Structure 1
Amino acid sequence: MMKKTIGTVLGVALVASSLAACGAGQDSGTQAGGTSGTGTATGGKTKISYWTIDRHDADYMKEVIKKFNDANPDIEVEMTVLADNFNQAVDIAYASKQAPDVLRTNDFLGFVKKGYLLPINDLMNDDLKKRYANLMVEESNMVEGKIYSLPNTGQFWRLIYNVDLFEKAGIKEPPKTVAEMVDAAKKITEANKDVGAYGFAENFKSASSAFARISNPISSFSGTSIVDGYNYKTGQFDFSVYKPIAEALYQMKKDGSLLPGVESLDIDPLRAQFAAGKIGMYFNHSGEPGVFQNQFPTKIRWAAALPPTLDGKQSGTVSVIAGNYVGISKDTPNKEKAWKFMEYLANINFQKEYHEKGFGISVVPDVNATANKPTIPGIDGFLPSKYDALYSPTPLSVTEAKVEGVKTGNAITKYMLEGGDVDKMLTDLTTRYNAALEKARASGDTKSKANPSFDPGKLQGTLAK
């Protein structure tokens, strides 16, 4: 039996004090600490510590871990949920020689660069390697051929819309183009003045995040090869493709179709307004069904649809940035037993149940092919389609850290509110971001390079049929 499962949300300060308390004089088999404290627990069990950032599935994972522990009498996995400041807590743990044996790879590339994770190539059997062969993505779950984590779920991006407001405005289906989205937002606003509803909103308080939620699914689905302004084919930034999207936002502002105060709107207030029936459309990912079931229960009829495209043609794929789940600490003295738990989380039975219970939508094809549909309301529109595909991470974060001047999100938001010379703005962004990218490459912060053969259209059908 599992002796205890820690499901408490801890802060960094609490973790730090907890780690400091795990001194050499304590019984290493009974403490709740990490690597340097793990060993043979009471009853001859080896204690394996597992740290996760996921709060939404904590109760379910307690059950999963109990089943694992019951089936493996020589192992006792203990879970700690660190929903806030997870990355800082991990840094403190490694610096204190108290790292967990197994952990969520929340900052995958950062954890690899810091030497936290153990390559698992030699631990994987041939069947496992074959099962995941098409899901290995550089800088997402492997680095220079070394695999550190295996995929489970991903974020599937969609246009989320209020069915009631659409029907009242006489709109029969979600927009297929950006122009149709602008028109729909205007009609929704005009038809729903009596209830104070508006056609469109996004969380522009976090300007870069808000614009990425809109631009990434639209541009990648349009077949541009561009995500985060970065062109996978050329290995350079090119913001010019975002002109129709920026102009659409400006037009919706001019039309009065944007929720008032959208420039200071955060994500949870946006969700609350949507749940109250005040917003016609916004973009977000597959975590929203859980939000509207638990955090912001709603009685409105809502649904999710594939994003519109620039020209109405679905010639690309909707980018799914995913591909890692858990990893093993490089410092663990219990590599084989830690792997046994990680392998347990990488099997199809666990992944199917996780998917079916609605904790996350799987990116693993054999799971999507055989799992029952999750029962959580609103999930249907988010389920993997042939138009969803795994993309490798872009060099945006390391580039933006070196960008001089106004960042993309702020520049777009200013244009949305005030107008101006959109071509000049996008050209300026392209110039400054490519200058910063050159610096990032020169300093070794990114190894991204051009991939002339990249074709988002050829990725169709790689996650689901």
Structure 2
Amino acid sequence: MKLKKYLGVLLSGIMVLSMAACAGTDKGQTAAPESGQTGGTKKEQAKGEEGSGDITKITMWSNDQHDQAVYEERVKEFNETIGKEKGISVEYTVYGSDYYTTLDVAVTAGEGPDIFKCNKIGNYAEAGYIMPWEDEDGLKGLVDRFSEYNAPGYGEFGQKTYSIPIRVTTYGLACNMDIFNKYGLKTPETWEEMRACAKAITEGSRESTYGYALAMGYTSYNYFYLNLPNAASVGDEYFNHTTGRYDFESLGGFFDHLQGIIDDKSMFPGFETMDGDTARAQFSAGNVGMIGVMSSDVTTFKNQFPCDFEWVVIPYPVQDASNRYKEPIGVSMSYVINSRAAKEGYADKVAEFVNYLYSDEMFVATNDAQVDISILGDEITSQSKAESLDPNWIKFSDMDVYCIKYPNPDGDLSIEGDSYQDVYNKILTGIVTDVDGALKDLTERYNKALDEAIASGKVNIDDYIDSNIAGKMKWGQ
């Protein structure tokens, strides 16, 4: 097993997730390319436009709107400085909710961009669409520097590096302090206290304001607002990285916690179908006392759904305040490199820009703009010269609260019956009432599928075991 050094700092399987929070809404984003205009031909990308001399045009695609302005500014800076000196011009394009469909069509047709966000690293690597970073001398330094943050299921596949984690997305519980102060409440530390706060807010307002909003319509709600928060109480996710076995029964207490809020009628009505933006809008309008949030919401509550009240983010409450663990997080999906760059002889040019993309300069810029938290943690935040960072951004960046976890083998399993996401939905909507039985069944079915994947050679379980996970998640504050 290749052991990775975990830092107590701050997106299982292929990280998930990267997330729906990054994709945002479709407003203000670049339209998807028209048919036949997917990203330029190989000749255009390799040689640049006619009359451009020795300029190599490099194309880069992403679906991240939240940091688009910062990236556009830094790409422009690169083109006018390093790029001008080295004969490189980078064209950066951001697409919307259909990004991965558009990308798949372009890549499989041989017309994909040179650098792109990818959610199919294993599939693309096997097909030869993307190149290992070890194959280009100019990228080996990055591979070495970031190796402790990487793992199979993140950026590694088949003992090769195809991507490097670039950032993390942290999460917590946002509290409307105007509402809390109105009812004389303190921010909760335990599930019991959170339920009591939610009930006091709902009953005190005569149901004009609700205590908590769980946006089940948000695709990744189960990851950010169930699996990860519960891990802070039990010491690991539903996949146990010590034993290498699934353990969905560890979520039994957390479902009881949420059911209590629902039974008290303190959960915002319509939570079963409410999407993330609707929940944020209700919170910013003062109709919800508490809501699950991610680090990207610092700018969301400034720009898209501005709050005219003080809100603070706190670690999600735990079952027992005297037995808390750090909150685990996975790394966000990051960039890969089209194998065409190596085949056509301009991988060195791509490497020049990728080194800039992963530079401290870039990381500090996105941190100070309060849009991205670098995978490097304190190495970057300690360099910040920003004078007015939002207090909540600083809390989201607190490296003593979070730890990076290994991915899990979910993506390599063939599950018979409902997925865990389906079962979670049925529990929270009341379709399934035997919660313990449902979680036990999940554990058995996922472990059966895991055993089959191990036996077939599809999963190397050593890639997912970390015997030191308990120590790494130990709460230190």
| Fold equivalence (TM over 0.5) | yes
Q: Which residue of 1 aligns with 2:358?
A: 346
Work out which of the residue numbers 79, 101, 109 in structure 2 matches 1:88.
Answer: 101
Q: Which residue of 2 aligns with 1:386?
A: 400
Tell me how far apart the structure 2 counterparts of residues 103 and 420 of structure 1 sit (CA, whole Å): 44
Q: CA separation of 1:456/1:215 partners in 2, compared to 1, >3 Å: closer, same or farther?
A: farther
Q: CA deviation at 1:276?
A: 0.8
Letter in 2 for 1:155: T
Letter in 2 for 1:209: S
Instruction: Give the unaligned 5+ runs of structure 1.
Output: 1-6, 20-31
Letter in 2 for 1:51: W
Residues 412-439 of structure 1, C-alpha deviations (whole Å, 9 max, x = no match): 3443444733222211221222233334
Partner SS state of residue 336, structure 1: helix
Tell me how far apart the structure 2 counterparts of residues 383 and 165 of structure 1 sit (CA, whole Å): 25
Work out which of the residue numbers 362, 376, 390 in structure 2 matches 1:364.
Answer: 376
Partner SS state of residue 134, structure 1: helix
1:34-53 equivalent positions in 2, closer than 5 A: 34-41=41-48, 42-53=52-63
Q: Which residue of 2 aligns with 1:258?
A: 267
Residue 192 (structure 1) aligned with residue 205 (structure 2): yes
Please report the RMSD computed on the Cα atoms of aligned residues, expressed in angstroms: 2.7
Tell me how far apart the structure 1 counterparts of residues 324 and 311 of structure 2 sit (CA, whole Å): 26
Q: CA separation of 1:55/1:316 partners in 2, compared to 1, >3 Å: closer, same or farther?
A: same
- Asked if the contact 1:223/1:457 (under 8 Å) is kept, the reply is no
Letter in 2 for 1:356: D
Q: Which residue of 1 aligns with 2:286?
A: 277
Tell me how far apart the structure 1 counterparts of residues 225 and 459 of structure 2 sit (CA, whole Å): 25
Q: Which has the higher contact order (CA 8 A, sep 6+)?
A: 2
Q: Which residue of 1 aligns with 2:367?
A: 355
Partner SS state of residue 140, structure 1: coil
Tell me how far apart the structure 2 counterparts of residues 113 and 295 of structure 1 sit (CA, whole Å): 40
Q: Which residue of 2 aligns with 1:290?
A: 299
Q: CA deviation at 1:304?
A: 0.8
- Asked if the contact 2:403/2:472 (under 8 Å) is kept, the reply is no
Residues 87-119 of structure 1, C-alpha deviations (whole Å, 9 max, x = no match): 222222222221211112344444434433222
Letter in 2 for 1:453: S
Work out which of the residue numbers 186, 207, 213 in structure 1 matches 2:224.
Answer: 213
Q: CA deviation at 1:443?
A: 5.4
Tell me how far apart the structure 1 counterparts of residues 376 and 454 of structure 2 sit (CA, whole Å): 32
Tell me how far apart the structure 2 counterparts of residues 89 and 78 of structure 1 sit (CA, whole Å): 17
Residues 101-143 of structure 1, C-alpha deviations (whole Å, 9 max, x = no match): 1112344444434433222135357764553242222321222
- Asked if the contact 2:29/2:65 (under 8 Å) is kept, the reply is no
Residues 218-277 of structure 1, C-alpha deviations (whole Å, 9 max, x = no match): 232235222xx2211222211111111111111111111111121121111111111111
Tell me how far apart the structure 2 counterparts of residues 358 and 54 of structure 1 sit (CA, whole Å): 14
- Range 264-273 or range 312-321, more displaced: 312-321
Q: Which residue of 2 aligns with 1:26?
A: none
Residues 358-379 of structure 1, C-alpha deviations (whole Å, 9 max, x = no match): 1211221311232246735742
Partner SS state of residue 219, structure 1: helix
Q: CA separation of 1:323/1:364 partners in 2, compared to 1, >3 Å: closer, same or farther?
A: farther
Work out which of the residue numbers 324, 330, 333 in structure 2 matches 1:321.
Answer: 330
Tell me how far apart the structure 1 counterparts of residues 362 and 466 of structure 2 sit (CA, whole Å): 38
Tell me how far apart the structure 1 counterparts of residues 368 and 111 of structure 2 sit (CA, whole Å): 35
Q: CA separation of 1:183/1:124 partners in 2, compared to 1, >3 Å: closer, same or farther?
A: farther
Tell me how far apart the structure 2 counterparts of residues 215 and 202 of structure 1 sit (CA, whole Å): 10
- Range 432-441 or range 90-99, more displaced: 432-441
Tell me how far apart the structure 1 counterparts of residues 317 and 466 of structure 2 sit (CA, whole Å): 26
> Identical aligned pairs, as a percentage?
27
Tell me how far apart the structure 2 counterparts of residues 266 and 149 of structure 1 sit (CA, whole Å): 30
1:158-177 equivalent positions in 2, closer than 5 A: 158-173=172-187, 175-177=188-190
Letter in 2 for 1:235: G
Q: CA separation of 1:448/1:200 partners in 2, compared to 1, >3 Å: closer, same or farther?
A: farther
Residue 151 (structure 1) aligned with residue 158 (structure 2): no
Q: CA separation of 1:93/1:413 partners in 2, compared to 1, >3 Å: closer, same or farther?
A: closer
Q: CA separation of 1:209/1:45 partners in 2, compared to 1, >3 Å: closer, same or farther?
A: closer
- Asked if the contact 2:138/2:351 (under 8 Å) is kept, the reply is no
Partner SS state of residue 263, structure 1: coil
Q: How many corresponding residue pairs?
A: 436
Q: Which residue of 2 aligns with 1:222?
A: 233
Q: CA deviation at 1:346?
A: 1.0
- Asked if the contact 1:293/1:377 (under 8 Å) is kept, the reply is no
Q: Which residue of 2 aligns with 1:203?
A: 215
Letter in 2 for 1:234: T
Q: CA separation of 1:126/1:410 partners in 2, compared to 1, >3 Å: closer, same or farther?
A: closer
Tell me how far apart the structure 1 counterparts of residues 376 and 315 of structure 2 sit (CA, whole Å): 20
- Asked if the contact 1:161/1:282 (under 8 Å) is kept, the reply is yes
Q: Which residue of 2 aligns with 1:337?
A: 349
Instruction: Give the unaligned 5+ runs of structure 2.
Output: 1-27
- Range 93-102 or range 416-425, more displaced: 416-425
What's the TM-score, normalizing by structure 1?
Answer: 0.85
Work out which of the residue numbers 237, 241, 255 in structure 2 matches 1:232.
Answer: 241
Residue 58 (structure 1) aligned with residue 79 (structure 2): no
Q: CA deviation at 1:167?
A: 1.7
What's the TM-score, normalizing by structure 2?
Answer: 0.83
Tell me how far apart the structure 1 counterparts of residues 75 and 91 of structure 2 sit (CA, whole Å): 8
- Range 135-144 or range 274-283, more displaced: 135-144
